[in-house]
Amino acid sequence: QLVETGGGLIQPGGSLRLSCTTSAFLIGSNHMSWVRQAPGKGLEWVSVIYTGGNTYYTDSVKGRFTISRDRSKNTLYLQMNTLSAEDTAVYYCAQSRLGNRKSFDIWGQGTLVTVS
Amino acid sequence: QSALTQPPAASGSPGQSVTISCTGTSSDVGGYDYVSWYQQHPGKAPKLLIYEVFKRPSEVPARFSGSKSGNTASLTVSGLQAEDEADYYCSSFGGNNNWVFGRGTKLTVL
């Protein structure tokens, strides 16, 4: 129900913008996060945008990544700047809808970002 | 924030039960009832199994259950089936509007 696009091969120091869209619900009606997974590694939470618009980031991407949404396009974004090899991962967007919205209940299929 | 501690591997025979632990600190697992568990098959996106320690989304079988004691949460898979072979991750809300995941447990159905 969530579809991510925008991944690809990018040189170190470069920028990339990921998008996440859905036709199943309104992006702005739930908390939305980005979670990444480096090749062969575990999951790492990256960023969240709350329904009210507040945004938060994991320390390693603060100042480099920006999460945002466009309600008119029903799309979530992740602008990634100053990329390094450590950012190489599959990036998933995920919705938090259940309960107090502290879990990730719907995930996209992921988009691969390779920094090399 | 450090990753939550999970055993790297677990195993069980079909029909048996297996429990996977997830240990954090009083700043995450112990401090909030916001532990969730995810199942991930190779090459697939994670799937939510348990949220808020013990709650199950409607589509998740009752064979999956969660609990917590102090700084350690647990996922129990009862009546193991071949399709349960996957990687399992725990996650906890960390309070400072961030989340932390465990490093994952590879479950093998013997």
**Other residues' Cβ atoms within 10 Å of the Cβ of residue B65:** 19
Residues whose CB is less than 8 angstroms from the CB of residue A53 and which lie 6 or more positions away in sequence, other chains included = none
- Report which of A33, A35, A106, A110 is spatially closest to residue A68, judged by C-alpha positions: A33
Cα distance between residue B89 and residue B21, in whole Å: 10
The answer to whether A7 and A18 have CB atoms below 8 angstroms apart is: yes
| Binary contact (A103, B97; C-beta < 8 A) | no
Mean pLDDT, all residues of chain A: 96
Q: How far is A110 from chain B (nearest CA, A)?
A: 7
Q: What pLDDT band is residue B1 in, cutting at 50, 70 and 90? A: confident
C-alpha–C-alpha distance, residues A82 and B13, integer Å = 47
Q: Is A62 helix (H, G, I), strand (E, B) or coil?
A: coil
Q: Count Cβ atoms below 10 Å from residue B27 Cβ, excluding itself.
A: 16
Contact A104 B38 (CB under 8 A): yes
Match 């999970």 to its residue by tokens.
Answer: B6
CA distance A64 to chain B (A): 17
Closest alpha carbon within chain B to A56:
B97
Q: Are B99 and B91 in contact (CB under 8 A)?
A: yes
Q: Do A43 and B52 touch (CB under 8 A)?
A: no
Average pLDDT over residues B77-106: 96
Chain B positions in Cβ-Cβ contact with residue A100 (cut-off 8 Å): 34, 52
Beta strands in chain A (DSSP E): 3-5, 8-10, 16-21, 31-37, 43-49, 55-57, 65-70, 75-80, 89-96, 106-107, 111-115
- Which of chain B's residues have a Cβ under 8 Å away from the Cβ of A49? none
* CA closest to B95 among chain A residues: A102
Amino acid letter, residue A26? L
Mean pLDDT, all residues of chain B = 97
pLDDT 10s digits, A28-62:
999 999 999 999 999 999 999 999 999 999 999 99
pLDDT at A32: 97
Reported confidence tier of residue B3, pLDDT bands at 50, 70, 90:
very high
How much is the pLDDT for A8? 97
CA distance A112 to chain B (A): 12
The band of B95, judged by pLDDT with boundaries at 50, 70 and 90, is: confident
